Amino acid sequence: MIRRVMSHTWILGAALVLLEVESLIGPLESAVLQAVVGLPLAFILPGALLGRALTDRPQGPRAADDLVVALGLSLSILAVGGVILDLFDFGLRPMSWVIYIAAVLAAAEAVRHMRGHEPNRLDFTFARSIDPRVPLVVLAVAALIGGAFAIAVTGAERQEGPRVTQLWITPRASPGTYQIGVASYNGQSSSFTLDLREGGRKVRSWRFGLSRGQSWQAVLRPPPGTSVRATLFRRGDRSPYRQVFIRSNSF
């Protein structure tokens, strides 16, 4: 009875909803599971079921029509769904999306049943008619595309462009104190001297080395009403490399 009444795709959708809930809040929290389950739940099933319920399939070959309806309606369901969810206080959250999609799947199955359409069957008999060379071609093309992505991502992550050193000074939450910091993004290790002047008078100097991605920080407590100026020099170079200043310490 259940097999006659319910679509295979609806059963699949219900299973994915449960898995999605599991991945969000259950003990089996898993980013991979969430992605694997979430993508068809977002992109394919709502549109496929709603399309089957609301429209009538054209005569003749239908794969392209089925795909465009599944994707197109899924995108529309998400776009409109966001506006609907925005009306509620809880808004657009992972769980509210899942509940919304589950509601769409249930409504689609109910409409399909009321219209007397045949239940969707997951029919894999078409696989027997596929040329055995097709999977080989698909694999070969997928390998080429994967190679293209590997080239692109590797190239982008080795992006050329000047990597610089930053010097900054910012007020801290505690009045009258400042955070001073240096961050190095240069390709090689660098040695620095940082001179601190308060009210025009040199009060302190630090020497340190930084490798790429490293940073150095210190806390300053200058006298109230004085100016603060920090100048960064590269070791062996007398010209200022970076400079920051506070005109008048207000505290």
Partner 1 sequence: MGRRREEASGDAFRIAGLVITCQALGLIAMALAGSAGRGGDSSWAETAFWLGLLLIVGPTTARLASAAPERTERIILALGVGLTLYLAKVLIWPVQFTFHDEFVNWRTTADIISSHHLFLENPLTPVSASYPGSSVVTAGVAQISGLSVFVSGLIVVGAARIVLMLSLYLVLERVTGSSRAAGLACVVYAANPNFLFFDAQFGYESLSIALGAFLVYLALRPLPSHVRPALPGVVALVLVAAALASSHHLTSWLFAAGLTAAVVISCAVRRRPPFSLPESGLAVAAVAAIATAGLWLVYVGVGAVSYVGPVLTGGGNGVLHLIEGDAAPRTLFVSAEQVSPKWEQILSFGSVAIILIALPFGLVMVWRHYRSNPYLLFLGGVAALYPASLALRLTSTSTEISARLSEFLFFGVAGILGLLASRALRDGVGQHLWPGRRLALCVTVAITLAVGGGAIISWGRWARLPGSYLVSADARSVEPQGEEAAAWAETHLGSGNRIAADRVNGLLMGSPLGGEQHPINGLADGINVNSVILSKRITNSDLQKIADAGISYVVTDARLSDGLPLTGVYVNRPEWTASNPVSPLAAAKFGRAPQFNRLFDSGDIKVYSRSMRGWP
Residue 75 binding partner 1, by CB under 8 A: yes
Q: Do 213 and 188 touch, CB atoms closer than 8 A? A: no
Q: With contacts defined by CB under 8 A, how many residues of the chain interact with partner 1?
A: 90
Residue 1 binding partner 1, by CB under 8 A: no
Residues 188 and 165: their CA atoms lie apart, in Å, by: 11
Half-sphere exposure of 225 toward its Cβ, with a 13 Å CA cutoff? 0
Q: Where are the beta strands (DSSP E) in 119-247?
A: 165-171, 178-184, 190-198, 201-210, 215-220, 228-234, 242-246
Residues 141 and 139: their CA atoms lie apart, in Å, by: 5
Strands 190-198 and 178-184: unpaired
- Please, which of residues 92-121 interact with partner 1 by CB under 8 A? 92-94, 97-98, 101, 111, 115
Both structure tokens of 60: 């003749």
Residue of 1, 2, 4, 59 that binds partner 1 (CB under 8 A): 59
Tell me the closest approach of the beta carbon of residue 210 to partner 1, in angstroms.
Answer: 14
CB nearer to partner 1: pick between 1 and 132 = 132
Residue 137 binding partner 1, by CB under 8 A: yes
CB nearer to partner 1: pick between 72 and 223 = 72
- Please, which of residues 154-183 interact with partner 1 by CB under 8 A? 154-170, 179, 183
- Please, which of residues 6-35 interact with partner 1 by CB under 8 A? 20, 23, 31, 34-35
Q: What's the Rg (C-alpha) of the chain? A: 31
Residue of 3, 25, 58, 212 that binds partner 1 (CB under 8 A): 58
Sole window of 4-12, 53-61, 188-196, 198-206 interacting with partner 1 (rule: CB under 8 A): 53-61
